Homo-oligomer: A and B are copies of this chain.
Amino acid sequence: MSKSRIYTAALIVIGDEILSGRTADKNIPQISKWLNVQGIRLAEVRVIADDMDAIAEAVNILRARNDYLFTTGGIGPTHDDITVDAIAKALGLDVVIHPAARAILEKYYADKGGLNEGRLRMARVPEGADLIENRMSGAPGIHLENLYLMAGVPHITAGMLDGLTGTLEGGAPLLSATVGAWAPESEIADILIASENAHEGCQIGSYPFFRNGKVGANFVVRSTEADALAACTAGLKAGLEEAGYEVTEGGI
């Protein structure tokens, strides 16, 4: 398999609590960084409501145009946890109790009152799915074709990602290097363009900030090629220094 192919993933964040502003999402950066290490690029994210039709629409579009599709949220024990049902509907599958998931839950709740209807909901999967082991918090995720259903609670998702590490086929990881300068980005826009154009396969992002009464910016160079990344970063640094700015490697 060529390492030059770019592998992409999409993420669907499912949850009224994110849309209402009550909870700030932490899964987007967590999953994105994990994907980078697997050599997979997060290409798009959608945040949608706890709504069967909205989930089904997003799942069918995004799984078709990405190598992988992750979801977070909606796989717990309560009535608003409808992700499994929505995805089964989107794929035209029945929902079944997964025997291994049931066994995990029976063991986990053995000294906590045992299984009940709500807890058993967490053993439900679309027919044909298998489980994503989670040594860190017990609750498994769900894998089906190119779909990966993760928890909404970030530390539980972290355990599921740990269980998946190294199992997904990826390309060359996207590398990045950051340099910072106390420069108004509006004064150095030309330097960015020149540096990017001079080094094929490199992209430069410009992220301005305002601190202690001064404007500055961090510039993130990205490439899958280590040599090109180093050359582009060196070129950018030289350009900024020629323009009279002191450059901080690693960013400010």
Residues of A within 8 A of B (CB): 13, 15-26, 28-33, 36, 41-50, 54, 76-80, 109, 112-113, 116-119, 121-122, 153, 155, 174, 176, 184-190, 192-193, 196, 203-210, 220, 222
Q: Are A189 and B19 in contact (CB under 8 A)?
A: no
Q: Are B42 and A44 in contact (CB under 8 A)?
A: no
Complex Cα spacing A113 to B31, Å: 42
Q: Point out the residues of chain B lying under 8 angstroms from A15, CB to CB.
A: 205
Complex Cα spacing A76 to B210, Å: 14
Q: Point out the residues of chain B lying under 8 angstroms from A30, CB to CB.
A: 21
Number of copies: 2
Q: Are B185 and A76 in contact (CB under 8 A)?
A: yes
* One of B18, B48, B187 near A113 (C-beta < 8 A): B187
From A15, A18, A22, A208, residue with most partner B Cβ within 10 Å: A22
* One of B174, B187, B208 near A76 (C-beta < 8 A): B208
* One of B45, B80, B196 near A206 (C-beta < 8 A): B80
* One of B42, B47, B76 near A20 (C-beta < 8 A): B42
Q: Are B32 and A19 in contact (CB under 8 A)?
A: yes
Complex Cα spacing A155 to B208, Å: 12
Q: Are A206 and B78 in contact (CB under 8 A)?
A: yes
Q: Are B32 and A21 in contact (CB under 8 A)?
A: yes
